[in-house]
Structure 1
Amino acid sequence: MPAKQTVHLPVAAQPSVDTLVDLTRTAEELGYDHAWLPETWGRDAVTSLTAMALGTDEIGLGPSIVNVYSRSPALIGQTAATLQEVSDGRFRVGIGPSGPAVIQGWHGEAFDRPLRRTRETIDIVRKVLSGETVNYDGDCFTLGGFRLRCDPPETPPPIDAAGMGPKSVELAGRFADGWHATLFTPDGMEDRLDDLRRGVDLGDRDEDDVEVTLSLTCCALDDGERARTLARQHAAFYIGGMGTYYRDSLARQGYEDVAYDISTAWGNGDKERATELVNDDLLDHLSAAGTPERAREEFEKFADIDGVDSVAVGSPRGATVEEARETMRALAP
């Protein structure tokens, strides 16, 4: 079955919440299956997703990731139950540990035991969504007596886990309802899908019960060179400017030298050099960018990966709202 097409809304802060709602409406009109909103440094995901739910009718909604440090598992469960109600059953929650640069630098929390914390968060959120009283004695969390004081969702929203390393992807396969992948080459995805399948086997589960979503940087513009420049800048920022986890993930995918060179250049303040190091070959292995025809051709390489259920069309952080919309139209299902 061909991969579904979804939308990963721009990570850069948008002019207004209405902008996010409008982009989601556009995605709905174009036939995209789901709209994902990452919680990064812009507006919080919960308020934005509420507005998106109220402003649309059919498209699925959810955060591609909310981190498991800045909210308690019980609060994530409450939030998922509420957004499932507000969206009339269209919600899907994505969680993950993020990384030290975000958790320690932005939230002031210790980045401690990320895999165990993610596993226990999945357990607790499921218990909260069941409507049962939550008594939980884990290594990271101990809860007693918590229960929703409203009706639990008739259909609990699925819980996806984001991750890039072998063990985090194995965890998603073993315990979550889906895996969110970001900044992967086709070969890199194949390797991590092996880890996912190992987790599925360890959990004695069916692979069809774990939905794989690949978030892909896309930019399809009549000005193909601008599209590729935006995608190149985006890749350099994530590899060089977002701590070590994207750098290390790319290194595991066979690009160790260039990953560290990009990180070093960015860390030394030479963003132009870091961007130049994302050569055409690497760019084509991490994104679908160029003219609409070229972007569509590159997009299909990722959509054809066996084991990928959904490819999310994401925009580079430097793209304008209209460029994001133009890309969505060019790559629409």
Structure 2
Amino acid sequence: MAWGLTVPLDGVPLAEHPKVYRELADAGYTDLWSVEANGADGLTPLALAAAVEPRLRLGTAIVSSFTRGPALLAQSAAAMAAAAPGRFVIGIGASSNVIVQGWNGIPFDKPYSRTRDVVRFLRAAFTGERVDERYESFAVNGFRLGLVPETAPKIVVAALRERMLRMGAREADGVILNWVSAQDVRRIAAIVHEENPAAEIVARIMVCPSTDAAAVRRVVRSLITGYLTVPVYRAYQTWLGHADALAAMWDAWDAGDRKGAVAAVPDEVVDAVCVHGPPEVCKAKIAEFVDSGVTTPVLALLPIGVDVGDAVLSLAP
């Protein structure tokens, strides 16, 4: 069974990650999936892994369909695919207005169209053929990939609601989920597999192998408030049916009461999106995601009162 981990690991210097990657493979981890927000970029941690550990599959979860131009994104994905033949998956998604427009100064226009068009362009570029195409959201004139990987990387799409879920299953090789409960996955998996029964479903799952539930909930409440008040995630949670549970948080946030918003996050919301408890309990809860339809669980470790190295090994399959 696939058993992934989010990298880079908090508190571990990037220069020390190659040694860690070997230990992860020894412990039974199968996948490493990177994130790209305001820390390391989404490719450097994976490039380090490609150079030292051939047992691990490598994926981005995610790089934005906006913040790299289409040709540069194809070059980056092709280079990773050449460095890790048959082991690289390019996960792309629209990201959010905060990262795309607020931090990078790029208009966050038509995120569905942009992501779909990038998927279509990457498919064409990975063949090594010249691409001359006017897509709905951009045009590419005369691009030909100079480094064509022997095995084209799989493409998965970060999807929040039904339209993007169906597109990722239909036009890519699957989808990436975030901020979901095991129960949410059942509904999502039904939509994805109706479109494509073979589609991969990757899910990033926050996990902390700690018995201090109060400390975990305190940290995760702040994370929930920071993410699920962003418009795209607010719409997502409403679509999932969580508007009533999150209404008090949103009301406080909209009124400018940041502390009140954090305090208004119910314990049941925290416990639905963050797996915590003793390691064996955590692994059993992660298995519930798999039973609900996740094909690749990717642990996003929260080192709250735990040693990172010990925690990672305690959660190994």
TM-score, shorter chain, exceeding 0.5: yes
1:166 maps to what in 2? 162
1:228-247, aligned counterparts within 5 Å?
A: 228-240=217-229, 243-247=230-234
1:27 maps to what in 2? 24
Q: Which amino acid aligns with 2:286?
A: F
Distance 1:94 1:295 in 2: 26
Deviation at 1:233, TM superposition (A): 3.6
Q: Size of the alignment, in residue pairs?
A: 317
Q: Which residue, 2, 5, 8 being the options, matches 2:6? A: 8
Q: Is the 8 A contact 1:6 1:33 kept in 2?
A: yes
1:210-229, aligned counterparts within 5 Å?
A: 210-221=199-210, 223-229=212-218
1:74-93, aligned counterparts within 5 Å?
A: 74-93=71-90
Distance 2:64 2:4 in 1: 21
Residue aligned with 2:246, SS = helix
Deviation at 1:27, TM superposition (A): 2.5
2:285 maps to what in 1? 298
Distance 1:52 1:64 in 2: 15
Distance 2:260 2:20 in 1: 33
Deviation at 1:219, TM superposition (A): 0.6
2:300 maps to what in 1? 314
Deviation at 1:126, TM superposition (A): 1.5
Alpha-carbon spacing, 1:325–1:268, altered in 2? closer, same or farther (3 Å): farther
2:152 maps to what in 1? 156
| Percent pairwise identity | 27
Alpha-carbon spacing, 1:332–1:55, altered in 2? closer, same or farther (3 Å): same
Q: Which amino acid aligns with 1:220?
A: P
1:101-180, aligned counterparts within 5 Å?
A: 101-150=98-147, 152-180=148-176
TM-score normalised over the length of structure 1: 0.86
1:255 maps to what in 2? 242
TM-score normalised over the length of structure 2: 0.90
1:199 maps to what in 2? 195
1:25-78 deviations in Å (ceiling 9; x for gaps): 342222111100111111212233222322323111121110011111221111
Alpha-carbon spacing, 1:323–1:226, altered in 2? closer, same or farther (3 Å): farther
Q: Is the 8 A contact 2:245 2:269 kept in 1?
A: no
Alpha-carbon spacing, 1:165–1:324, altered in 2? closer, same or farther (3 Å): farther
Distance 1:109 1:57 in 2: 36
Question: Unaligned regions of 5+ residues in structure 1, if any?
Answer: 201-206
Q: Is the 8 A contact 1:62 1:91 kept in 2?
A: yes
Q: Is the 8 A contact 1:239 1:262 kept in 2?
A: no
Distance 2:278 2:221 in 1: 15
Q: Which amino acid aligns with 2:110?
A: R
Distance 2:205 2:242 in 1: 18
Distance 2:23 2:254 in 1: 37
1:62 maps to what in 2? 59
1:238-290 deviations in Å (ceiling 9; x for gaps): 223xx222222222222203323223434656554434333332222212112
Question: Unaligned regions of 5+ residues in structure 2, if any?
Answer: none
Q: Is the 8 A contact 1:213 1:310 kept in 2?
A: yes
Alpha-carbon spacing, 1:228–1:319, altered in 2? closer, same or farther (3 Å): same
Q: Which amino acid aligns with 1:248?
A: A
Q: Is the 8 A contact 1:10 1:315 kept in 2?
A: no
Alpha-carbon spacing, 1:166–1:20, altered in 2? closer, same or farther (3 Å): farther
Backbone CA RMSD of aligned residues: 2.4
Residue aligned with 2:3, SS = strand
1:76-96 deviations in Å (ceiling 9; x for gaps): 111111011222432111001
Q: Is the 8 A contact 2:210 2:304 kept in 1?
A: no
